[in-house]
């Protein structure tokens, strides 16, 4: 079977600087995906036209900045990640070439072959977070799987995580012993029903 070769990681966007180029509908989707997950994400939006709905959305996120003009190359200075979401594919190709040269990771809306990384569909229940990827094959399928998992994972999963954290802190002994105890107390979670 074909494999999804993408390597998932969980970024601390509150310690990284993100540039979003484009402030239209796609820009709004991308920025809300980031802020829903990382409300402290350090994001700068550059675009000559910023949708009112985007402006309204970021009103409560004081660290998010807007630059109202066309993209300039210096906007890439000191950025860790860049997301391109304008209506200008030629501009995307040009900026992407520069980010590659400057080794800044870049996502280009609607253009998988230019992306260094994809956004995923995200299930969030307290500290639990699950990221779903279909390898770009069907974002709609990723969304449906998110909805399914969101439905079946109990909302009180956070209590279980908090309890396990306490047990984890209280266990004495070496690393191997910790693994043994934690495997033991969680075994019933994966036992098949007879």
Ligand X SMILES: C[C@@]1(CC(=O)O)c2cc3[nH]c(cc4nc(cc5[nH]c(cc(n2)[C@H]1CCC(=O)O)[C@@](C)(CC(=O)O)[C@@H]5CCC(=O)O)C(CC(=O)O)=C4CCC(=O)O)c(CCC(=O)O)c3CC(=O)O
| Positions in the binding site for ligand NAI (CB under 6 A) | 21-27, 46-49, 70-71, 85-88, 91, 109-110
The CA R_g of the chain, rounded to the nearest whole Å, is 20
- Residues in region 127-146 near ligand X by CB under 6 A: 133-136, 138-140, 142-143, 146
Q: Is 8 in the site for ligand X (CB under 6 A)?
A: no
Running DSSP on this structure, what letter comes out for residue 191?
P
Q: Is 120 in the site for ligand X (CB under 6 A)?
A: yes
Contacts of 68 (CB under 8 A, 6+ apart): 47, 48, 50
CB nearer to ligand X: give 17 or 117: 117
Site size toward ligand X (CB under 6 A) is 21
Closest by CA to 150, choosing from 127, 130, 133, 120, is 130
Nearest to 27 by CA among 8, 55, 2: 55
From the list ligand X, ligand NAI, none, partner contacted by residue 25 (C-beta under 5 to 8 A by kind): ligand NAI
Out of ligand NAI, ligand X, none, what residue 71 binds, judged by CB under 5 to 8 A for its kind, is: ligand NAI
Residue 164 Cβ vs ligand X, minimum distance, rounded to whole Å: 27
For helices 175-190 and 157-170, angle between their N-to-C axes, nearest 10 degrees:
160
What are residue 112's phi and psi, to 5 degrees? -50, -40
Least Cβ distance, residue 186 to ligand X (angstroms): 28
Shortest distance, CB of residue 2 to ligand X, whole angstroms? 13
């Amino acid at each position: 079977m074909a494999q999804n070769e993408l390597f998932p990681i969980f970024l601390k966007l509150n310690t990284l600087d993100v540039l979003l180029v484009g402030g239209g509908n796609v820009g709004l989707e991308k920025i809300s995906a980031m802020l829903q997950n990382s409300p402290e994400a350090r994001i700068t939006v550059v675009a000559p036209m910023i949708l009112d709905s985007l402006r309204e959305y970021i009103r409560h996120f004081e660290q998010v900045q807007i630059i109202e003009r066309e993209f300039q190359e210096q906007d890439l200075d000191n950025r860790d990640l860049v997301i391109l979401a304008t209506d200008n594919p030629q501009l995307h190709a040009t900026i992407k070439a520069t980010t590659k040269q400057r080794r800044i990771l870049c996502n280009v809306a609607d253009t998988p072959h230019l992306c260094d990384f994809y956004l995923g569909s995200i299930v969030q229940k307290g500290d639990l977070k699950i990221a779903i990827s279909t390898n770009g094959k069907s974002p709609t399928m990723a969304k449906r799987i998110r909805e399914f998992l969101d439905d079946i994972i109990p909302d009180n999963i956070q209590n279980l995580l908090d309890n396990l954290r306490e047990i984890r802190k209280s266990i004495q002994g070496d690393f191997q012993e910790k693994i043994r105890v934690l495997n033991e107390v969680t075994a019933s979670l994966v036992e098949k029903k007879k």
